[in-house]
Structure 1
């Protein structure tokens, strides 16, 4: 024959389990300390961690330090994902070296960047010789590796 469990015994068991379970870590959000202008690279003095949890905001300062703001971020506002990117190495209208390398054939010429871009980003460029618009990936040395 089974004995019915009293509700106070269940409450005590649940309370004990809750006290013994590890506490959930509180999430934090990265917040701007001062106005951050577009194209500004973030430094340690620009941001801080705030104990509030804001959906879509960065939660680690290391993820934002050294990144470039794509839009203005105002003091006290959370630094949202998608508002930062790699620092631009190539500016719009800058003359860059275009490199096409396929199957042992290497063609190098000058081009004009039609967008800003950081290392590894795909941007549009115009070949200055033929006036053809192409896409390429920004290389660490500032040249653009043309894909077509």
Structure 2
């Protein structure tokens, strides 16, 4: 029955007109109902909708477990970063997921990365269901950057460096937090202002120069033996160089552990 015929039927039907008039008179006797019936119906729909109620609780539950896991993983990877500098941003959940409920929810990250755009698996035992979700993790810290152009081969000075806040999770080659840690480094190439200082663009100074006399430390624990040797090549901290023992004239390999001191044990680094 189309709309036109329906209206004609209603207008010519005496029983319909009787009940319609009766209901209209009833509402007029209660004027406040006429004003608030639409709003009351909307509120009732919201309160009685289990899907909306359960969706709000599961959203909080999912976001909480994602943030907790992400904070712990990022803190382990960046132990020197304050917890407040770790930001976790869960992606909006699919509507089918917000309609679910769970009494025992668990979470497992997919992959080894702890920063950037990540994926995790949600698992529920009661009722039994699972789903994949995405989220982003950013880790902010103060890092050392160049404040002016630096020529290749130049020694880095404190006046040429500054610090700025950045997402260190995006820095694949490492970074330095303190300016004093890189003062004295040598630029491997020409550096532009604002460049993040790493071991790839600046190398630490030599702790031992070729021809220097150095102290050779050998032995373990409380039993250590020292001798004097001559460095046959230059080197930096942690590097292995050749040393000539001045007493025995024997050539040995040793690792630089500090300025003017080498060790025959790599574990001393």
TM range (shorter): 0.5 to 0.7
TM-score by length of 1: 0.56
Map of 1:25-44 to 2, 5 A cutoff?
27=140, 29-33=143-147, 34-35=149-150, 37-38=152-153, 40-43=155-158
The answer to whether the Cα contact below 8 Å between 2:145 and 2:197 also exists between their aligned partners in 1 is: yes
For the residue of structure 2 that corresponds to 1:136, the secondary structure is: strand
Task: Please report how far the alpha carbon of residue 52 of structure 1 lies from its aligned counterpart in structure 2 after TM superposition.
Answer: 5.5
Gaps of 5+ in 2: 1-46, 61-83, 88-137
- 1:87-123 per-residue CA deviation (whole Å, 9 max, x = no partner) reads 43212x23323424438674523322423223xx242
Q: How many residues align?
A: 131
Higher relative contact order (CA 8 A, sep 6+): 1
- 1:42-75 per-residue CA deviation (whole Å, 9 max, x = no partner) reads 41x2122345545235263x1x424224623512
Partner of residue 253 from structure 2, selected from 128, 134, 141: 134
Larger Rg: 2
Match of 2:175 in 1: 58
For the residue of structure 2 that corresponds to 1:89, the secondary structure is: coil
1 or 2, which has the higher helix percentage?
2
Task: Please report how far the alpha carbon of residue 133 of structure 1 lies from its aligned counterpart in structure 2 after TM superposition.
Answer: 3.8
Distance 1:139 1:124 in 2: 13
TM-score by length of 2: 0.36
Partner of residue 198 from structure 2, selected from 75, 80, 94: 80
Question: CA 1:94 to 1:39, structure 2 compared with 1: closer, same or farther past 3 Å?
Answer: farther
